[in-house]
Amino acid sequence: MKKSSTPVQEPPGGAVHRPTTPPVWQPRTDPAPLLPDPEPYRVLGTDAAAGADPALLLRLYTELVRGRRYNTQATALTRQGRLAVYPSSTGQEACQVAAALVLRERDWLFPSYRDTLAAVVRGLDPVQALTLLRGDWHSGYDPHEHRIAPLSTPLATQLPHAVGLARAAQLKGDDVVALALVGDGGTSEGDFHEALNFAAVWRAPVVFLVQNNGFAISVPLDKQSAAPSLAHKAVGYGMPGRLVDGNDAVAVHTVLGEAMARAGRGEGPTLVEAVTYRIDAHTNADDATRYRADGEVETWRAYDPIRLLEHELTQRGVLDEAGIRKAAEAAETLAARLREQLNTEPALDPMDLFAHVYAEQTSQLREQADLLRAELDAAAGKGPGEER
């Protein structure tokens, strides 16, 4: 075929500029400061422990001992049929205690279903914290009163809620920081990624604490993520990632404290990964021996958060036998109260089904309530209009 000799017509105004090299690209953010340390941050057993506040150390220790007893008592109550289910946080107490103690009164805690201990350390009545797991109510407490969001059973759905609250506080000019807790399994959920993305874009005052306990029910971490660490995920959203030893209560408190302060100064969110281990099964309905070896569990038992802190305190002369007994006695008092109150059958009123659905009941709900009331009155042998 003969090639055309007709020249290319240039548009009016001169020749078209055809660049031979792409424009220079620059990252919008330097990723280096966002990267987590190569090893989890530790305090206990290092020189940094010498500068820790003894009063804080004793408070952490007392709450760890109470928390362990809380876990064992709640687990026992499931075997007695007093709780429908209990997801134990044995082995993870340092994460939850530190998370609760780092909060100011005006801050908000957004827990997952495994974080009842964090809610208790925050000041929530232990029985109220277990009401959901008892099967009585969706939430046994007033979230606004305690500044603790309802315990979240669906994975990671509490994270966008935490970001929403933090963003609202930011817009209103309120000095409030939200601390959201999630497990390693929750980082595989879409809610996790959406929450981090919005939080970073808005520079919202929120901190995300991932308690990496090694398993999402029976799925180990290496089958959930190929990232170097879960803390590395922060870089993709433009926020700092921190990696901390989740069994070192002082280290967790330090890292979270720094992240909370950073958020409070308007510098945006932080993702903290606490490397810990779930000693007990996923819940009392799970058989963990099907997917992990006893030797693995025993290795982590030797790295117990209570033993770590107790060793540090006794070595420094901050804790003696009397202090150890005092903490144990406080833990037994908590356990006795749990047994007493949860062994009492709750007084349930079927009419409560209609009490907290709408501020003003719909006509359909009023009709259903009237039908149920009539059935209850008939069963009680009462006529129309008589009080139940």
Q: Considering the candidates 66, 68, 242, 278, report the single residue annotated as catalytic.
A: 278
Distance, CA of 307 to CA of 285 (rounded, Å): 28
Q: Considering the candidates 66, 68, 82, 282, report the single residue annotated as catalytic.
A: 282
For residue 268, what are the contacts with CB-CB under 8 A and spacing of at least 6? Answer: 199, 200, 203, 204, 205, 239, 262
Q: Considering the candidates 59, 203, 232, 291, report the single residue annotated as catalytic.
A: 291
Length of the chain: 388
Is residue 278 part of the annotated active site? The answer reads: yes
Angle between helices 54-79 and 93-101 (to 10 degrees): 120
Q: Are 251 and 245 contacting, i.e. CB atoms less than 8 angstroms apart? A: yes
DSSP state of 285: T
Is residue 282 part of the annotated active site? The answer reads: yes
Nearest alpha-carbon partner for 211 in 239, 235, 238, 179: 179
Is residue 70 part of the annotated active site? The answer reads: no
Distance, CA of 30 to CA of 256 (rounded, Å): 23
Which tokens is 145 given?
């009163």
CA torsion, points 162, 167, 173, 178, in degrees to nearest 10? 20
Q: Are 91 and 292 contacting, i.e. CB atoms less than 8 angstroms apart? A: no
Which tokens is 184 given?
């390693």
Half-sphere exposure of 263 (CA within 13 A, CB side): 37
Beta bridge partners of 304: none
Q: DSSP of 84-124, one letter per residue?
A: S-----TT-HHHHHHHHHT--TTSEEE-BTT-HHHHHHHT-
Sheet of strand 241-245, all strands in order from the earlier edge strand to the far edge: 108-110, 178-183, 206-212, 270-275, 241-245
- Helix ranges (H only) for the chain are 54-79, 93-101, 116-122, 126-129, 131-134, 143-146, 158-172, 190-202, 249-264, 294-301, 305-315, 321-342, 363-379
Q: Write down the residue that tokens 């874009």 correspond to.
A: 201
Q: Please give the positions annotated as active site.
A: 278, 282, 291
